[in-house]
Amino acid sequence: MPRIAVDERRDLLVEAAIRVMVRDGVAKATTRSIVAEAGMALAAFHYSFRSKQELLENVIGTITAHTLDLAVERLGAEGSVEHKVRAALDSYWQHLMANPGEHRVTYELTQYALRHPGLATVAKRQYEAYIEGASKLIDSLAHSSDVTWTVPVPVIARYLIAVMDGLTLLWLNEGDDAGARAALDLAGDHLISLIRMS
Amino acid sequence: MPRIAVDERRDLLVEAAIRVMVRDGVAKATTRSIVAEAGMALAAFHYSFRSKQELLENVIGTITAHTLDLAVERLGAEGSVEHKVRAALDSYWQHLMANPGEHRVTYELTQYALRHPGLATVAKRQYEAYIEGASKLIDSLAHSSDVTWTVPVPVIARYLIAVMDGLTLLWLNEGDDAGARAALDLAGDHLISLIRMS
DNA sequence: GTCTATAGGAAGATAGAC
DNA sequence: GTCTATCTTCCTATAGAC
């Protein structure tokens, strides 16, 4: 009954959609379940968004931005380069263990998007944003400690993203805390071995 | 019209389901599209399988077995340990580039399974089978060349699976051949550095 | 065993009163 | 802008004739 500006309604629906996806999965995030989560009538969906696809574009954009913000926050550690690398990995891992549903949703969303022609380009841009973010993170890590990498930054960036994605999936699917943690530490060793002191 | 044994019909439906999933994605693999692919009537589905879930259990089992068979074939290389490691990674990568749809489906299936209570245990067993397969592969690689690993085999196995999963996703999502390949080679360097000659 | 026909429900999207 | 009611389509699963 209360009148809400369309822009605000859109934000509320995007947030509700993300909550439903985290709780029940992307497939269960139907227009009906989303408006129910937001406490709105079904028709509210379609005078806020032209289609479900338009909502999903916004959901993907919001989640990508959120993830990149978190990555930037992770840069704050003090001490040696080695310590900074470990701290960054630890910080990511802590966030994963505290918010598994959120991470699972990002994988579901890219897969969903890549199977739907209208969303495929959005998914690719999302991945490119991650790679660019990782590159900047790796670059500034070396600069802040006045060291260099023995391997080109774009290569390390892709390797970093692949390893973290893979370890995340491993833990989400297998559920073995100690096993995944040991593999993460091994990846950390490798990253540190790529640093050349100068 | 021709009478087919139920067991054979089940196999035909499982194979048809996999073809549909590879081509159109797991979400599009409905009972209707699967029987259409197999050239059967809709009702044939439900006197071959109790439910769609029962078919999916068979699909997951078949794909897991197929993947493990491929991994075993990859062991045949001759030469130094380093060469064997490179050859195994190359062989995997070649299969990925030639069958991207098949690999994409395995990720979709685990995600699908983990969201459906009745299939969650099947998905976990699938992942455990992968880890066990990787462990055996890593073990026999060292034995056949009379060297040892500087890190426990289960840790390397999880690291290997995570890295390959992550690199696969990276390539499937970003589509950059050279970028993913460079990251793969970096992972290869790391694996080789974990070998201790004796 | 094999089929046609249909039940029964949930999805995205829209019409039209207020 | 906001709602209820409904359209249309697609899904899994079953009934019942052959």
Q: Whole-structure pTM over 0.75, yes or no?
A: yes
Mean pLDDT of A191-196: 97
Residue-wise pLDDT tens digits, A68-82: 999 888 877 789 999
Residues A39 and A79 in one domain: no
Domain extent, residue A129, equals: 60-196
In which element (H, E) is residue B43 found?
helix B42-46
Is residue A132 in some structural domain? yes
Q: Of A81, A71, A74, nearest to A192 (Cα)?
A: A81
D strand bases under 7 Å from protein CB: 1-6, 10-16
Whether residue A11 is contained in a domain is answered as yes
Same domain assignment for residues B122 and B87: yes
Using one digit for the tens of pLDDT, what is the confidence trace for B9-42? 999 999 999 999 999 999 999 999 999 999 999 9
Residue reference for tokens 């696809």: A53
How far is residue B65's CA from residue A61's CA, in Å, rounded to a whole number? 37
Task: Give me the CATH number covering residue A30.
Answer: 1.10.10
Which amino acid appears at position A63 of this protein? I
pLDDT at A111: 98
pLDDT at position A194: 98
Structure tokens given for B7:
């067991």
Residues B95 and B28 in one domain: no
Using pLDDT thresholds of 50, 70 and 90, give the confidence band for residue B74. Answer: confident
Structure tokens at A170: 């491993």
Judgement on whether residues A37 and A96 belong to the same structural domain of the protein: no
Can you give the C-alpha Rg of chain A in angstroms?
19
Q: Is the pLDDT reported for residue A188 higher than 90?
A: yes
Q: Cβ of A167 and B167 within 8 Å? A: no
**Same domain membership, residue B83 and residue B33:** no
Q: Which residues touch strand C (CB under 7 A)?
A: A 28, 30-33, 42-43, 45-46, 51-53; B 1-6, 9, 40-44, 47
Q: How many domains does chain B have?
A: 2
Band of the pLDDT at B83, cuts 50, 70, 90?
Answer: very high
Domain end residue (candidates: A28, A49, A70): A49
Q: How far is CA B60 from the centre of its chain?
A: 10
